[in-house]
Amino acid sequence: METDIAWQKELERRARIYDDIEAGGRWEGVMTTLDYAGMAVFTVVLIVGFWIWGA
Amino acid sequence: MTDHVTHGGFAAIETEREEAAHNRAAAERGDAPLLPSERLWGFWEFTYANSALAIATWAFLIGGAIGLFVGPKEGIAAIVIGNIVGVALTALATTPLSGRYGIEQFVALRSQFGYNGSRVVYLLAVVVLTMGWLAVLAMMFGRSIDGLAALSAGEAANPTGIKMIIAAVGAILVTWFIVAKGPTSIKFFNMVVSPALVILMIVMLYLILQHRSFAELLEMPALAPPFEDSTLNFIIAVEVNLAAGFSWWPYIGNLARLTKNERTAFWPNIVGIFGAAVLGEIVGLLAAVALGDSDPTIWMTKIAGPAIGIIALLFVAFANMTSMANILYTSIVGLRQVGTASIRAISWGMILFLFCVIPLGLVVFYPQMYDGFFIFLVWTSALNSALAGIGIADYFFLRGQKLDMRSLHAPQESGPYRFWGGFNPIGLAALAVGFGVYVLVFNPQTLASLPAFKYLTASVPSCLAAGVVHYLLTRLFARGAGWGNYPGR
């Protein structure tokens, strides 16, 4: 029982740390629109390029 | 008195340290989210780790299977196109949320399928996939040993004979023993085997190019194209690679949670998993087409001659065991999160052994599975592509990239992710729709397909259909039913 309470406290502590990061907007290394757009462009270039070359 | 205080102070510090270490270990096992300060992998560490997973012997198998459908030029195009789409969508569905919150993948899945629904998904996507791969890789080990014995004795190999079966059973049992010892032994194998596999691939590529020039190879035909329509054969090759890309769905989320942030969780998959898998598959494809056999345990001896062939086969045999140890370990760690209390009560060694029983049965009673392994792989994509679509729709479009850490880790019976008896009927219906769309568009067993398959593949419509159904039904019904803690518009 004591272990359960201690563990719930630990979970609460961890959740609170994430709440603070969220509230302060302190996420590091966030994927931005640029990342998603870059990935989309890279994927499309590979698909079109290899389709033309190989198919 | 001072001594007592000092001793008391040290004891308190020691207890605090022990408690912190215990909590961190529990978080590493997935019982709690890992904090940013606890995560160790940067970009290159994660790239190295997922390359180690991707540079495995299955890449040779998949590459060889592609050679059955199309020639090398179309095959290379299919490998690149299929893998980039599959890996990108799978990474989008699983890694940004793991990288942001350090959350265990199947705990996060409670927000999409409910706490019991996530168990069903684990059973379907992880257990079936891992058991199948364990059997296939064990048979590849067995075939390598059989090939070795035949080479040494100067006899013909018998890839479905008793020697193969005994060696394959042995491989599963040794893997069980290694994993039962814990993750340290697996890490050691990874450190040795992954770089050595890269060297093996380069040596094999060099030997292939000694037989034929690259230009000659590109002009060679497919080994056994199933249809006269070359576009259809090409799309089937793309589909097999989409399946290979989507097949990372059960594994990469839990690796990505060890990275420092979203970017380091996402991008290394494109460098590591995509790059490494493409390299291995291309070697397998070129070798298969150049030597007329898609089975790496056969083409390796043909290409390298008896001396290097023996070394290559021996190496491939043990590399298979490393792959087997990795997927077995990951699956059983996940099982702890989704399992009931009675499953968690089973000892680590025993639960590992029980997990190995079905692969053992497949090896002994259904060794033919090896030759049709790509059919098995494509079946898994019917699930994994739909899971990726649901994951993207749920995390990005319905939750605005926000997860509730408290509710996901708290007791579930009274929490917001209980949905309907622990199952989210919407997520499960979307999964069924995605699976249904896949099988309707392309039947992996018979290779029968609708005309649309040639333009859309099967995995992409399955992924889209599952995502759209999940999004629309959630918007229409979930808020009214008070399900899932979705934010208001």
In this prediction, residue B133 has a pLDDT band, given cuts at 50, 70 and 90, of: confident
What integer pLDDT is reported at residue B435 of this predicted model? 97
By C-alpha distance, the chain B residue nearest A48 is B81
Per-residue pLDDT of chain A (55 residues; tens, 9 = 90+): 556 788 889 999 999 999 999 999 889 999 999 999 999 999 999 999 999 998 7
Question: Is residue B262 a contact partner of residue B251, using CB atoms and an 8 Å limit?
Answer: no
Distance CA A41, CA B478 (A): 34
Helix, strand, or coil (residue B41): strand
Closest CA to B296 of B167, B380, B219, B204: B204
Question: Is residue B75 a contact partner of residue B138, using CB atoms and an 8 Å limit?
Answer: no
Q: What is the CA radius of gyration of chain B?
A: 23
Residue B177 confidence (pLDDT) above 80: yes
Q: Is A53 close to B85, i.e. CB distance below 8 A?
A: no
Task: Select the highest-mean-pLDDT range: B131-135, B350-354, B436-440, B484-488.
Answer: B436-440
Residue B5 confidence (pLDDT) above 60: no
Q: In three state form, how does the secondary structure of B144-169 look?
A: HHHHHHHHHHCCCCCCCCHHHHHHHH
Residues whose CB falls within 8 Å of the CB of residue A1, separated by 6 or more in sequence, listed in order: none
What integer pLDDT is reported at residue B190 of this predicted model? 64
> When comparing pLDDT for B153 and B433, which is higher?
B433
**Tokens 């394959």, located at residue:** B168
Residue B188 has φ and ψ, to the nearest 5°, of -60, -45
| Section B107-134 average pLDDT | 90
Question: Out of A11, A29, A39, whose CB is closest to B88?
Answer: A39
What integer pLDDT is reported at residue B410 of this predicted model? 85
Residue of A1, A14, A27, A34 to mutate, testing the B interface (most B Cβ within 10 Å of its Cβ): A14
DSSP label at residue B242: H
Residues whose CB falls within 8 Å of the CB of residue B451, separated by 6 or more in sequence, listed in order: none
Q: Is A27 close to B261, i.e. CB distance below 8 A?
A: yes
Q: Residue A29 to residues B3, B98, B286, B406: CA-CA distances in angstroms?
A: 48, 13, 39, 23
Q: B84: number of CA atoms within 13 Å, CB side?
A: 18
Q: How is residue B20 written in tokens?
A: 């912190």
Question: Out of B27, B74, B261, whose CB is closest to A54?
Answer: B74
Assign 3-state DSSP to chain A and report helix, strand, coil percentages, each to 5. Answer: 80, 0, 20
In this prediction, residue B489 has a pLDDT band, given cuts at 50, 70 and 90, of: low
What integer pLDDT is reported at residue B304 of this predicted model? 77
Residue B488 confidence (pLDDT) above 90: no
Q: How is residue B158 written in tokens?
A: 């018998």
| Section B82-105 average pLDDT | 96
Per the prediction, chain B carries an average pLDDT of: 88
Q: How is residue A1 written in tokens?
A: 């029982």
Q: Is A12 on the interface with B (CB under 8 A)?
A: yes
| Section B113-118 average pLDDT | 94
Output b/e per residue, B435-451; b: 16+ Cβ within 10 A: bebbebbbbbeebebee
Q: What single-letter amino acid sits at B98?
A: S
Distance CA B23, CA B29 (A): 10
Distance CA B157, CA B151 (A): 8
Sign of CA dihedral B244, B187, B97, B100: negative
What integer pLDDT is reported at residue B460 of this predicted model? 98
Q: Is A55 close to B263, i.e. CB distance below 8 A?
A: no
Residue B187 confidence (pLDDT) above 70: no
Residues of A in contact with B410 (CB under 8 A): 8, 11
Model pTM score: 0.89
Q: Is A35 on the interface with B (CB under 8 A)?
A: yes
| Section B475-483 average pLDDT | 86
Q: Residue B168 to residues B163, B198, B433: CA-CA distances in angstroms?
A: 8, 24, 37
Question: Is residue B320 a contact partner of residue B171, using CB atoms and an 8 Å limit?
Answer: yes
In this prediction, residue B3 has a pLDDT band, given cuts at 50, 70 and 90, of: low
In this prediction, residue B470 has a pLDDT band, given cuts at 50, 70 and 90, of: very high
Question: Is residue B54 a contact partner of residue B276, using CB atoms and an 8 Å limit?
Answer: yes
Closest CA to B461 of B445, B429, B439, B446: B439
What integer pLDDT is reported at residue A2 of this predicted model? 59
Q: What single-letter amino acid sits at B398?
A: L
> When comparing pLDDT for B388 and B324, which is higher?
B388
By C-alpha distance, the chain B residue nearest A28 is B261
Q: B56: number of CA atoms within 13 Å, CB side?
A: 26
Within 10 A of B374 (CB to CB), how many other CB atoms are there?
A: 24
ipTM over 0.90: yes
What integer pLDDT is reported at residue B403 of this predicted model? 93
In order of their start, the domains of chain B are 44-481 (1.10.4160.10)
What integer pLDDT is reported at residue B6 of this predicted model? 61
What integer pLDDT is reported at residue B454 of this predicted model? 94
Question: Is residue B270 a contact partner of residue A39, using CB atoms and an 8 Å limit?
Answer: yes
Helix, strand, or coil (residue B399): coil
- Note the pLDDT tens digit of each residue in B222-270: 999 999 999 999 999 999 999 999 999 988 888 899 899 999 999 999 9
Residue of A19, A22, A43, A52 to mutate, testing the B interface (most B Cβ within 10 Å of its Cβ): A43
Residue B2 confidence (pLDDT) above 70: no
Q: Is A54 close to B76, i.e. CB distance below 8 A?
A: yes
List the helix and strand counts (H, then E) for chain A. 2, 0
> When comparing pLDDT for B90 and B193, which is higher?
B90
- Note the pLDDT tens digit of each residue in B318-343: 778 877 887 888 788 778 777 777 88
Residue of B43, B104, B232, B263 to mutate, testing the A interface (most A Cβ within 10 Å of its Cβ): B263
| Section B29-57 average pLDDT | 84
Residues of A in contact with B234 (CB under 8 A): 54-55
B293's torsion region: left (phi>0), alpha (psi -120 to 50) or beta?
beta
What integer pLDDT is reported at residue B189 of this predicted model? 65
Residue B55 confidence (pLDDT) above 60: yes
Distance CA B56, CA B331 (A): 17
Output b/e per residue, B290-326; b: 16+ Cβ within 10 A: bbebbbbbbbbbebbeeebbbebbebbbbbbbbbbbb
What integer pLDDT is reported at residue B325 of this predicted model? 84
Residue B46 confidence (pLDDT) above 60: yes
Question: Is residue B86 a contact partner of residue B244, using CB atoms and an 8 Å limit?
Answer: yes
Closest CA to B380 of B256, B196, B250: B250
Size of interface A-B (CB pairs under 8 A): 83
Residue B476 confidence (pLDDT) above 90: yes
Residue B488 has φ and ψ, to the nearest 5°, of -75, 160
Residue B12 confidence (pLDDT) above 60: yes
Share of residues in chain B with pLDDT > 90 (%): 48
Q: How is residue B402 written in tokens?
A: 């926000």
DSSP annotation string for B470-485:
HHHHIIIIIHHHT-TT
Question: Out of A14, A22, A55, whose CB is closest to B33?
Answer: A14
- Give the range among A41-50, B143-152, B475-484 with minimum mean pLDDT: B143-152
What integer pLDDT is reported at residue B183 of this predicted model? 62
Residues whose CB falls within 8 Å of the CB of residue B40, separated by 6 or more in sequence, listed in order: B258, B260
Closest CA to B325 of B166, B134, B45, B122: B134
What integer pLDDT is reported at residue A30 of this predicted model? 95
Residue B1 confidence (pLDDT) above 60: no
Q: How is residue B334 written in tokens?
A: 């996940």
Residue B282 confidence (pLDDT) above 80: yes
